[in-house]
Amino acid sequence: MNPLAHRPFVKMNGLGNEILVLDLRADPVEVPPAAARALARPGVLPFDQAMVLYPPRQPDTRAFVRILNSDGSFSSACGNGTRCIAALEAQATGNPHVRFESEAGLLECLVLPDGRVRVDMGPPRFAWRDIPLARDVGDTRAVFLPGFEGLGAACLLSMGNPHAVFFVEDAGAMDVAGLGAALERHPLFPERANISFASLLAPAHILLQVWERGAGRTRACGTAACATAVAAAATHRTGRAVTVTLPGGDLDIKWREDDSHVLMTGPVTHEFSGTLTAAMLEEAA
């Protein structure tokens, strides 16, 4: 019997970014990549990211969070998923202030009176080793990727995971799947990268399309929205507070003046709850 069988799950989404929540704090077991791929199959529990909760390592946090993409790869950060688990934890405890641990560091969350959730995603990182990149490219805010120079310069940075942001005339007209699949695995990105195509709709409004590493084209990506807002401000296209419109809806992003905090605010949706079965996991054996 698979050790994950009979474990409860919650299916949620953040602006259409499909999230699977597995709370394993009471009885921790590993969720191997094969299990993630099995669960993400069409007709089972298709998701973009799985947020797996383990016992906290620090006394002032609610859980240590591991994140798996639908292809079984691991991610260090997921903004939409963090909003989902923060909403669940706030509902369970009655406390709107929630703190989690993750591979990317501490995640401070606040459920607002209107039901939206604000997450402090921490600082952006521009140093080439922190993103990481395969080599020093100089100014990471303006990098022409070999083979894709026609797209213009990309802003490369980390929001706990690697991002490449291209500012284009019409993000809605881009071949997101074709370009994203190729750019995700560009030799410059040793850990692959999230690929974003952004266009300015107004001085504080950005249209965004995202190819997410390990998940493909997605209706929303919180870390990509944060990376895009930071890239826009860092390249003097916008101020530090913007609304980012993705196919799934809007996220409000603010990059504080001290450069150390990027705040993301947006809604979450509870879809359904259930229990994992051996049949769901059968291809993970």
The residue among 189, 214, 209 whose CA lies nearest residue 132 is 189
The residue among 125, 126, 91 whose CA lies nearest residue 109 is 91
Non-local CB neighbours of 258 within 8 Å, separated by 6+ positions? none
**Tally of CA atoms within 13 A in the half-sphere of 95 that contains its CB:** 9
Give the distance, in angstroms, between the CA of residue 278 and the centroid of all CA atoms in the same chain.
28
Give the distance, in angstroms, between the CA of residue 51 and the centroid of all CA atoms in the same chain.
11
Which of the following is catalytic: 84, 155, 221, 226? 221
Which of the following is catalytic: 78, 109, 155, 226? 78
Q: Is 226 considered catalytic here?
A: no
The DSSP code for 239 is: -
| Residue 8 preceded by cis peptide, ω within 30 | no
Show the beta-strand stretches assigned E in the chain. 8-14, 17-23, 49-54, 64-69, 74-75, 97-102, 105-111, 117-120, 154-158, 162-167, 194-202, 205-212, 216-218, 241-246, 249-255, 262-266, 269-275
Q: Is 84 considered catalytic here?
A: no
From CA 272, how far away is CA 281, in angstroms rounded?
19
Residue 115 has a CB neighbour count (10 Å cut-off) of 9
Whether residue 206 contacts residue 228, with contact meaning beta carbons closer than 8 Å, is answered with: yes
The residue among 159, 142, 153 whose CA lies nearest residue 104 is 159
**Which active-site residues does the annotation give?**
78, 221
